[in-house]
Amino acid sequence: MEPILEVKGLRKSFKDFTLQDISFSLPRGFIMGLIGPNGSGKSTTIKLIMNLMRKEAGEIRVCGLDTHRHELAVKQKIGFVYDENHFYDELTVLEMKKIVAPFYREWDEEAFTYYVHRFQLPVRKKIKELSKGNKMKFALTVALSHHAELIIMDEPTAGLDPVMRSELLEVLGELIQDERKGVLFSTHITTDLDKVADYIAMINEGRVLFSVAKDTLQETCGLVKGGKSQLTPEVKDRLIGLREGSFGFEGLTTNRKQMQDLLGEQGIIERPTLEEIMVYLVRGYRDADVGS
C-alpha cells in the first residue's frame, strides 16, 4: 500500500526564512512526530501539507493523491487540529458542529457523540468559554468524526496539563490500531514522542535533519561521555555538539558502533533520550555555523 503521507522536496521562503528540501514519508498504521526548535519550520510544513499556504516547489501526496490536484478529496481524508482556535468564538460547541459537519461526506454523528462523552466536552458552552484543553479536544473530536485516514496536528499538547496530554496520546495510540490510518503531529515536547511516536522527523532551520524510525534513531545515536584522555582528535572530529569541561567531555554520536571501536573498552556510550538527540544536534548545527 502507498504511504499515507509523502512529502518530497518541499520549499517555501519568507523574507528571513527558507524552508527547503523537506522530504519524508509516513507509512500507514504509524505515528510520526515532527520535532524541532521554535521557528524551525514545523507549522509552515504543516500549513503547506494542508494547502493553507502556497508551496514554491515540491510534491505532497496523501493516500497517494496529489494534494494540489485533488484538494477536495484530500481534505476529506485529513482530520486537522490546528495550533490556534479556528472555530467561531461566539458559537457553542453544538452550533459549531452543525456548521462543520456538512463539509464532510462521511460525517459520523455517532463518533462525534462518542468523543464528546469521552472527553466530557461541555457542548452547550461557547467556544470562547472553553479551556485551552477543551478547545483542543473539540478540534480533535471534529477531526475524528469524519472517518479521516490521516490525522495532522500542530502542537496539540502545548499548554495542556499532563493528564490531558496523556489522554490525547492514548487516543492517538488507539486510532492507529486501525492499520490504514496515520498520525502526524508536531511538538517540542519530546517526551510525548517517547511514549507514542513510531517515526521521528526533525526539522532545524528549515531543513529536515533526519526522518527515521524512533527505534533506529535510538540504536544508532549514542551519548558519549569520557575523560579528557579519551578525547583523541578522531573522537573529537566525530562528536556532535561536543562540550568539554573540567569533568571531561560529552557529545553525541550518530554511529554508535564506530564510536565504540574508537573508544575501546573504557568508552561509555549511553542511550540518548529524544530530547538529548535534539539538543545535541541543534547545538552541533550552531557550532558548525559559528565555525564556518
Among the listed residues 1, 14, 105, 234, the single contact to ligand ADP using CB under 6 A: 14
Question: Scanning residues 204 to 243, which ones bind ligand ADP (CB under 6 A)?
Answer: none
Residue of the chain from 12, 35, 40, 43 that contacts Mg ion (CB under 5 A)? 43
Q: How far is the CB of 91 from Mg ion (least distance, A)?
A: 26
The option from ligand ADP, Mg ion, none interacting with 36 (CB < 5 to 8 A, set by class) reads: ligand ADP
Q: Residue holding cell 534513531? A: 217
Say which entry of ligand ADP, Mg ion, none residue 17 contacts (CB below 5 to 8 A, set by partner kind). Answer: ligand ADP
Q: How big is the site for Mg ion, counted in residues (CB under 5 A)? A: 2
Angstrom distance (rounded) from CA 211 to CA 203: 9
Under the binding rule (CB under 5 A), the answer on residue 134 touching Mg ion is no
Q: Is 192 helix (H, G, I), strand (E, B) or coil?
A: helix
Instruction: Give the orientation angle of helix 93-100 with respect to helix 132-143, to 10 degrees.
Output: 30
Q: Return the DSSP state at 202.
A: E
By CB under 6 A, the residues from 18 to 37 that bind ligand ADP are 36
Question: Please, is 124 exposed, middle or buried when counting C-beta atoms within 10 Å of its C-beta (0-12, 13-18, 19+)?
Answer: exposed
- And the C-alpha cell for 85? 482556535
Please give the Cα distance from 33 to 203 (Å, whole number).
11
Looking at the Cβ atoms of 37 and 122, the one nearer to ligand ADP is 37
Question: Contact 199/32 with Cβ under 8 angstroms?
Answer: yes
Q: Which of residues 35-54 bind ligand ADP (CB under 6 A)?
A: 36, 38-44
- Interface positions with Mg ion (CB under 5 A): 42-43
- Interface positions with ligand ADP (CB under 6 A): 14, 17, 36, 38-44
